[in-house]
A and B are shown apart, each in its own frame.
Chain A
């Protein structure tokens, strides 16, 4: 199947997913006790002011009618207006989403940077000292809570050594890159152990197969055999592991964002839930759903690109 057709098919299947999610999140958030108007106005507010604001926000309409209004907006490409900020939800997401994407990209980069060389080295020196260390030590990373790890890195590399900013996102591209290092490393240290083990296992399996024997018999250099033939074949299953974990991470960047004061979409989501900002919660949930589907799609495409035997269906 051709790539464009495949991509189009996957994107079209996104629509019923989004519809279902919008329905669920719309009704679910309204089930939680806590009125947006009262939350917004605070404890000193009078009963009349709360009633006024509810009416302004359209909260006194029956729920099914509110849902139809929401769907109507959606069909026009609008996600509604934030109760808290009174700006279009799309504007709020447009400022916070890029930050989270930078975090995810940085996380992917550092995970690969750490995991690939270590896994290849471990597989190549199987059962050696290096292999055992590489298999055992990263497991510590799996157990470390990311908020603790993040703070530790900030204390050491930010506060003591001044190599990286203590917090924030920066205002220029170089500043963004610089501020993404510690968050990326924090996430990578928790993701890398999984990737190392899976990649190492596939590498060991692949390096034991017949075409590797053939390749080396043909006189190809050791490096090219291991990396060009071995790694390339082993990578395909690990790409799936990485992709699945990144998709999972999409909704969980909150912790890293909080620790590093990054104004990303995870932060925005938690603040909108606590502030009962219904339109923003609905909008962000839909964006998360889209991101998860797209990350999965990219994973499948990468998988297909790496391995011509995989047929996209």
Chain B
């Protein structure tokens, strides 16, 4: 916009008359505008003071006396996808529907095994080919109907039959029979050690037989199950809310009236909502913000031991990563201490194995390949590219952890004569390209869904499970054989020995660069009691209460 003052000299054309250069807009006009302005700001304030408020207040109705009731709000950066337990993989959906669907067995709080849940006892047959479960009596679905073995059979078979989802967890199951209303027998095709852990996986959650008469689609739009919370509303993209199940089988639980998971994409906005009391729990605040959060009054930061492990993947179908010396050289160049300090801000521990401490049969004595630049150089000298080479890191745009790791690696590898170029793409593209083995080197991570290492071991070592050996293209016959053998071994000592062997050999072949183990960070208001996150990321909302 041209400024007419400088373009047009004052003397040309009719000048603004003196008396029109109002020294002040008339008092009446000024007062009118001021009233309008104040009204615009004041009126909504007054109206809203008598109107409804937005999300929850810090203490809900009836909780002023202490522990009962309350509406809990969790803020997170993504929404759920669907409530279908057979096909949905996203944690954003799982951690919500796990408050509704319960299994025969539940994972123990330390993640090392399972405990009876909807089944009050179980007995493995001597030939290890079947397991008999006795169901708890008096368990009801949230619609008042009693749970029976027919519902259990339906629920497990449903997941086994539904293609395109979690059916791979149930591949060892041959059939499920129901001798009486409170007894279920699960038969397997071969002795299968992970069976109990598999039955605690959310895809085997118990729902009413034949979807209670509805179609699958209608059922999953408003599910009915035995869990502490039942279906309430879902405003897609905004929030999902579950409400208390009045017929829940655990006496005195749950304490909360409702739990709402709100979608707030901006991490600063999440922190502000927690501070302001509009949210009670902030899921996964960035590590860089933890110190500041710890210093905030009424907010506590909790770091729950998790199964999350980060890795560097190297694509063995691309030269020179098929050469074990190259992979070992790169692994020796990983400065884990620096990463834990600068990327995780101290919130993590260096990894020595592709399994993590929170999963059964982890071997803490596997030395792994630890940071040693001299050994890195020695390995590279023995490789097919002793003078170094150039490669491209496929990074995840917008992910500060990925970005920091790639830059630390770029600096370390330069020392070896390896030039690391960084290419960033968005999440979906990176997932696509790594899945099709169209990358050279990239970062990835894993979290377990059940208390048995087999889920990860299969994915990481056995190409037949569909993951291309954790997208590295590795086909190591010895490791494949050992992993299959370990899954069928029931004796805990022998099974541990096999997994120890697997971890040591996997570390030696450096098929993945093991980075670090990190906890699940959560920031909660101090009024939240009893919130505990299990190593798979799951939490039991029935144990949570809000004090005022």
Contacts and interface: CB of A to CB of B under 8 A. Distances in A.
B263 to A, nearest CB: 8
A287 B463 CA distance: 45
A44 interface: yes
Contacts of A42: 89-91
Contacts of A198: 1
B20 A207 contact: yes
Interface stretch (A8-16, A155-163, A244-252, A294-302): A155-163
Interface stretch (B33-41, B106-114, B283-291, B335-343): B33-41
A45 B459 CA distance: 10
A53 B272 contact: no
Contacts of B26: 221-223
B21 interface: yes
A163 B49 CA distance: 10
A180 B433 CA distance: 42
Which of A43, A85, A212 has most chain B Cβ within 10 Å?
Answer: A43
B81 interface: yes
B51 A175 contact: yes
Interface string B235-246: 111100000000
Which of B16, B25, B90 has most chain A Cβ within 10 Å?
Answer: B16
Interface string B250-278: 00000000000011111011001101101
Interface string A118-148: 0011001111000000010000000000010
A181 interface: yes
A308 interface: no
Interface in B410-458: 425-429, 431-433, 435, 444, 446, 449
Contact of A268 (B41, B47, B237, B431): B237
Nearest to A265: B237
Contacts of B497: none
A191 to B, nearest CB: 14
Nearest to B23: A125
B22 interface: yes
B214 interface: no
Interface stretch (A20-28, A60-68, A71-79, A254-262): A254-262
A223 B25 contact: yes
Nearest to B425: A33
Contact of A124 (B2, B25, B165, B427): B25
Contact of A172 (B52, B235, B466): B52
B14 interface: yes
B168 interface: yes
A263 B3 CA distance: 40
A84 B268 contact: no
A205 to B, nearest CB: 6
Q: Does more than half of chain A's interface fall in helix, strand or loop, or is it mixed?
A: helix
A126 B5 contact: yes
A84 B432 CA distance: 17
Given A178-B48, A201-B1, A201-B3, A34 B269 contact: no
A109 B40 contact: yes
Which of B54, B235, B426 has most chain A Cβ within 10 Å?
Answer: B54
Contacts of A165: 53-54, 278
Interface in A141-200: 147, 151, 154-155, 158-159, 163-175, 177-181, 194, 197-198
Nearest to B50: A174
A124 B272 contact: no
A163 B45 contact: yes
Nearest to A180: B44
A104 interface: no
B533 to A, nearest CB: 19
A148 B164 CA distance: 44
A197 B2 CA distance: 9
A194 B266 CA distance: 28
Interface in A23-40: 32-36, 38-40
A39 B237 contact: no
B44 A174 contact: yes
Contacts of A227: 29
A310 interface: no
A159 B272 contact: yes
Contacts of A168: 54-55, 278
Nearest to B3: A201
A126 B467 CA distance: 72
B236 to A, nearest CB: 5
Contacts of B265: 258, 261, 267, 271
A259 B429 contact: no
A151 B428 CA distance: 29
Nearest to B7: A201
Contacts, number: 232
A116 B477 CA distance: 77
A166 B276 contact: yes
Contacts of A86: 82
Nearest to B52: A172
B17 A201 contact: no
Contact of B52 (A33, A171, A204, A261): A171
A216 interface: yes
A90 to B, nearest CB: 13
Interface string B87-128: 101110000000000000000000000000000000000000
A126 to B, nearest CB: 7
Contacts of B491: none
Contacts of A212: 14, 16-17, 20
B25 A121 contact: yes
B285 to A, nearest CB: 15
Contact of B20 (A110, A226, A261): A226
B89 A44 contact: yes
Interface string A75-111: 0000000001111000010011000000000000110
B282 to A, nearest CB: 12
Contacts of B276: 158-159, 166-167
Q: Which 6 A-B pairs have the closest CB atoms?
A: A52-B164, A34-B428, A174-B51, A174-B47, A178-B48, A166-B276
Given A125-B23, A216-B20, A274-B427, 18 more contacts: A39-B432, A43-B431, A47-B466, A49-B163, A126-B5, A159-B275, A165-B278, A166-B273, A167-B264, A167-B272, A167-B273, A167-B278, A174-B47, A175-B48, A177-B44, A178-B45, A227-B29, A261-B265
29 contacts: A33-B429, A33-B432, A33-B433, A43-B89, A43-B444, A43-B446, A44-B449, A53-B164, A124-B21, A126-B21, A147-B266, A155-B272, A167-B264, A167-B269, A167-B272, A167-B276, A167-B278, A168-B55, A170-B48, A170-B53, A174-B51, A194-B1, A197-B1, A209-B14, A216-B19, A259-B266, A263-B263, A271-B237, A274-B426
Interface of B: 1-5, 13-17, 19-23, 25-26, 28-29, 33, 36-37, 40-41, 43-45, 47-48, 50-55, 79, 81-82, 87, 89-91, 163-165, 168, 235-238, 262-266, 268-269, 272-273, 275-276, 278, 425-429, 431-433, 435, 444, 446, 449, 459, 465-467
